[in-house]
Chains A and B, each alone.
Chain A
Amino acid sequence: MNRIEELFQRKQRNVLNVYVTAGYPNLNDTITIMQALEANGADLIELGMPYSDPLADGPVIQQSSSIAIANGMTIETLFAQLKDLRNSVSVPVILMGYMNPVLQYGFEKFCADAAAVGVDGLILPDLPEYEFETEYGAIIKQYGLDFIFLVTPETSEERIKKLDSLSSGFLYAVSSSSTTGGDKAFSPVQEYLQRLQSYHLHNPVLVGFGVKDKASFEAAAAYSNGAIIGSAFIKSLDGAADVTAATKAFLSSVLH
């Protein structure tokens, strides 16, 4: 059983996944922030690999990515930072990023190195299901990594079931059609989440996009297994002198 399965076996409600861009705000903050996330109640960590053209993300995450790239973050540097990850972080860790940097690194080498440092799963939003099924899915599985697909309120029932069957770990439910950090009010999207529940999916469901505080976290988690917070956390790190303290303060505001 891998760490993600263990987590969802232990905890089915209010699972909190927090996104952070690797190498942000400073190149060597990655592990410090991950440790602080775990210490202050994050159940799962989604670590973003910065890309110059992150299409699914809004301005906050793009800006953090640009800063991380300027700080010198690369996939190679990231794996060096994560070398001793499992000495100090025990929650599941997912790498999130875009296909192009991963392809340049070498897709199989990437999966091998991710598995070797103790990464549990991958989110690559621009890896389409066709390419996953014909080429990349087998490599991901070969290294024992979970792969998490996204679904949206526009995704048909048939397609949701298909993407659920291709996913492992959990399914990422995008709360509304938007890029991350959108200023659309987080409507509880109750109907959509209840619809997902009615499909009796094989994976747990975590809700992301527009989840930013205690109220939206609770609203999202009410009809799912939990939620993902990204842009709001990145904003809270902006200009923070002490990233550990900033992380603690942010998680406290969401969980307490």
Chain B
Amino acid sequence: MTTSYKQPNAQGYYGKFGGAYIPEMLHQNVEELRTRYLDIMYEAEFQKEFQQLLRDYVGRPTPLFLAERLSKEFGATIYLKREDLCHTGAHKINNTVGQILLAQRLGKKRIIAETGAGQHGVATATVCALKGLECIVYMGEKDIERQAPNVARMKMLGAKVVPATSGSKTLKDATNEAIRDWINNPNDTHYIIGSVVGPHPYPDMVARFQSVISEEIRQQLKAKTGSELPTHVMACVGGGSNAAGAFYHFVDEPTVKIVAVEAAGHGVNTGMSAATTALGTPGILHGSKSLLMQTADGQVVEPHSISAGLDYPGIGPMHANLFDTHRGIFLSATDDQALEAAFHVAKTEGIIPALETAHAFAVIDQLKLSSTDVLVICLSGRGDKDLATYMNHM
């Protein structure tokens, strides 16, 4: 059997990770999705509408930008995949456009979502407004406080933002609340998960919708350099949706180094971190088996990151498998390193990156690049939402 790193087996497993560990109350909905998602996604009519929206609404293809000053600084060729230029300011909308079209074809009238930094919530509220569907976004109470502009955007787009008040009051708890909503509304509701997490088929479905990122990178690199393949492709990882999209068409190309960057928070060993592969062990959260930050008793540990989008105690099963098989290189950056990198990129390239993305820029020097190396960094989102944090550090 040939193994592919990009797709799971029929039961949703990437190596040892994945599956669908869900209570019976979710079975009908997840099963309906599992049996229909591939057929729907690859219908000609679906693809036509999806591609048209990606082009005319999202603004794809996003540019692949040669970062000349960063290239000079690190002695290699560095390209930035400009997902920050997508409508709503991050890659999240690639997935929500796909899932809203899928939800319509499943006959669903009501959309729910979870959000951490608010980018996925905004991207979901946006496509619900576009299609005239009811939208409810669950968001941790703590994240509502620290991401006020995105909360306002969701409300302006007509979404209802419901605070998750249990547990750590962040992304993990917002996800719990969204799943409970789905259990309580089994017939008319589609749950748009924002990352490559959750029960099968979500990790695969979200990765496929995001895979447009690496599909475009290959075409654009070919046009610019004559080769479709870089030496390195790098992205930040919380749950890992931008990384899954950026890695997707490269993971089965053995010459391409895959680099995932996690949030170390105050430092990997400080007890205030979100570096899941460094700190996690195999476990089950939100319907799939993956790596998970947990106590010896199997209680989920509250993570910490300055970036709400990386503040998650798990990681998608595709990434857990890349880590477990050593196919991917997993690095981490602290809050302070990410902040420093964000300011550096802003001054060097004239681009203010999201705090999540800044984690990737913080570790370029650890790659020990040489002059023949070609590095592509997925610039997953823009930093407007993080201005309050940036202003505190000026």
Q: Which residues of A contact B (CB under 8 A)?
A: 51-53, 55-56, 58-59, 62-63, 66, 69, 74-76, 98-105, 125-128, 130-131, 149-152, 154-155, 159, 163, 174, 177-179, 182, 184
**Within 8 Å of chain A (Cβ to Cβ): is B23?**
yes
Could you tell me the distance between the alpha carbons of A101 and B298 in the complex, rounded to whole angstroms?
4
In the complex, which of the residues B166, B167, B298 has the most CB atoms of chain A within 10 Å of its own CB atom? Answer: B298
Q: A69-B299, A155-B24 are in contact. Are A55 and B19 (CB under 8 A)?
A: no
Known: A177-B184, A178-B184, A182-B184. 10 other contacts (CB 8 A): A56-B25, A74-B297, A100-B285, A100-B298, A125-B23, A125-B24, A126-B22, A151-B24, A177-B183, A179-B180
Q: A103-B283, A126-B22, A155-B28 are in contact. Are A53 and B300 (CB under 8 A)?
A: yes
Q: Tally A-B pairs: CB < 8 A.
A: 111
Q: Is the CB of B23 within 8 A of A55?
A: yes
Q: Which residues of B are found within 8 Å of A155, using beta-carbon distances?
A: 24, 27-28
Q: Is the CB of A177 within 8 A of B23?
A: no
- B: interface residue count bin: 20 to 34
A102's closest neighbor in chain B, by CB? B298
Q: Is the CB of B186 within 8 A of A52?
A: no
Could you tell me the distance between the alpha carbons of A66 and B283 in the complex, rounded to whole angstroms?
19
Q: Which residues of A are found within 8 Å of B25, using beta-carbon distances?
A: 56, 150, 152, 154, 174, 177-179
**Within 8 Å of chain A (Cβ to Cβ): is B81?**
no
Q: Which residues of A are found within 8 Å of B149, using beta-carbon distances?
A: none
Q: Which residues of B contact A (CB under 8 A)?
A: 11, 19-25, 27-28, 166-167, 172, 176, 179-180, 183-186, 281-287, 292, 294, 296-300
Q: Is the CB of B23 within 8 A of A100?
A: no
B281's closest neighbor in chain A, by CB? A104
Return the contact of A131 from the options B19, B27, B299 (Cβ within 8 A). B19
Could you tell me the distance between the alpha carbons of A104 and B192 in the complex, rounded to whole angstroms?
30
Q: Is the CB of B287 within 8 A of A126?
A: yes
Q: Which residues of A are found within 8 Å of B184, using beta-carbon distances?
A: 177-179, 182, 184
Nearest CB in chain B: distance from A79 CB, A: 12
Nearest CB in chain B: distance from A138 CB, A: 18
Q: Is the CB of A55 within 8 A of B11?
A: no
Q: Which residues of A are found within 8 Å of B11, using beta-carbon distances?
A: 130
Q: Which residues of A are found within 8 Å of B287, using beta-carbon distances?
A: 55, 126
Q: Which residues of A are found within 8 Å of B186, using beta-carbon distances?
A: 152, 154, 177
